[in-house]
Amino acid sequence: MSYKWLPFGEFEFTDDAIVFSGEIVDVTKTDQSSEKQARVGRTISDQKCYGGKISVDATFNYQVTNDPTSYPTTLEVAFFEAGSLEHMMVAGIGGNFALFAVREWDNRETLGAQTKGWKQALIQGGWVGQIKAGQSYNLSIQVEPSRITVYIDNIHVGSTIVNFPLINSYIGIFAQSPEQITLKNFRVEQYKPMVFLAMPFSDPYDDLYTHVFEPVCERCQLIAYRSEKTYQTGVIMAEIVQKIIRSHVANPPNPNVYYEVGFAHAMGKQVILVADRNCPNKLPFDVSPFRVLMYEDRIAGKETILKELVGYLRNILPQYEPITRYQEEITKPSRIL
């Protein structure tokens, strides 16, 4: 599959490869002195991230050595925050002279000079000198809404939870090297986003799930995961935590699931509460700021909540085409012949 690229650096794009033209360059420091560094480059694709796997085969021409004057050679998959080329999360080979690393770069103007630049790596390990010049390595990055996992040649080398807006970010490449890096077979495999539904198997929730949540998720090409399925099989709470980490949206409509609400909020998830309009008990004050869908147990009520739910999902995943198409379909004015 071919992608469109916008380069910020010395990249060359052919039908079967992306080539970063690394070299040693003179860089002016803040005190106006000059020093030699390995060239840096970024390029951003037209692919937005909704969770999935990004893989690429990389060949480095430069060999890092134990010599203290050795330059870095780095190839990382980059996730650029939507609307900002100055804020990215990267994961791959060679960052901080490590074999693998997951790290964040933030150079936005809203930050003070002392806080701009590279942050401390979230995770790193090994030494990049283990990467041999002239040999091809497969780098694979698995992305969930709150987690990045790194594989090199199909070996799981590291995984970490990230506090960064991966979803809706633009996928790209960050490279640094004094010599050429050749990339082949760059591929983005998108996963269907997951909606975590915390609701018991009883009325009226079964009816709401069957006639609203399940068909909406199916038409919007989302994976609907009901937490009660996990509880019934006796699986420990750790699996619930993992499902919330993987999810884009948490949808807890029942007062028995405030643990999930709190954890989802702490993970930066978009939370939608669903409440019975006719219930005499009001929502607790500390969850009232969340999105709340009020439903009524009647046919018209189901149609209303369906449209509102799709609208909320569109707001959370604005560029996800299946949701956009379905919203346009259900809001299209009826034609009277």
Dihedrals phi, psi of 239, to nearest 5 degrees: -70, -35
Q: How many CB atoms lie within 10 A of CB 99?
A: 19
Which residue is it, tokens 């594989």?
Answer: 151
Q: Which of 5, 113, 131 has the alpha carbon at shortest distance from 57?
A: 131
DSSP designation for 213: I
Pairing of strands 194-197, 5-8: unpaired
Q: What is the pLDDT of residue 233?
A: 47
The burial class, CB within 10 Å (0-12 / 13-18 / 19+), for 305 is: buried
Say which CATH architecture domain 194-331 belongs to.
3-Layer(aba) Sandwich (3.40)
Say how far apart CA 34 and CA 57 lie, in whole Å. Answer: 34
Q: What is the pLDDT of residue 191?
A: 86
Pairing of strands 181-190, 170-177: unpaired
Q: What is the pLDDT of residue 302?
A: 77
**Is the bond into 204 cis (omega within 30 degrees of 0)?**
yes
pLDDT in tens, 157-178: 999 999 888 888 999 999 999 9
Contacts of 54 (CB under 8 A, 6+ apart): 77, 140, 141, 143, 171, 186, 187, 188, 189
Segment 298-317 shows an average pLDDT of 82
Q: Which of 222, 204, 226 has the alpha carbon at shortest distance from 309?
A: 222
pTM to 2 decimal places:
0.78
pLDDT in tens, 218-244: 999 998 888 655 444 445 466 667 777
Q: Do domains 5-190 and 194-331 have the same CATH topology?
A: no
pLDDT-derived band at 265, boundaries 50, 70, 90: confident
Domain residue limits, the chain: 5-190, 194-331
Q: What is the pLDDT of residue 250?
A: 58
pLDDT in tens, 25-58: 998 877 788 899 999 999 999 999 988 999 999 9
Q: What is the pLDDT of residue 273?
A: 80
- Give SS3 for 101: strand
Token reading at 126: 């090994």
Say how far apart CA 81 and CA 87 lie, in whole Å. Answer: 6
Token reading at 224: 């609907």
Q: Which of 141, 238, 253 has the alpha carbon at shortest distance from 195?
A: 253
- Give SS3 for 32: coil
Mean predicted lDDT score pLDDT of the chain: 85
Q: Which of 278, 276, 329, 335 has the alpha carbon at shortest distance from 305?
A: 276
Say how far apart CA 282 and CA 285 lie, in whole Å. Answer: 9
Which amino acid, residue 115? Answer: T
Percent over 90 (pLDDT), the chain: 51
Please give the class, per CATH, of domain 5-190: mainly beta
Which amino acid, residue 282? Answer: K
Q: What is the pLDDT of residue 251?
A: 60
Say how far apart CA 11 and CA 238 lie, in whole Å. Answer: 43
pLDDT-derived band at 277, boundaries 50, 70, 90: confident
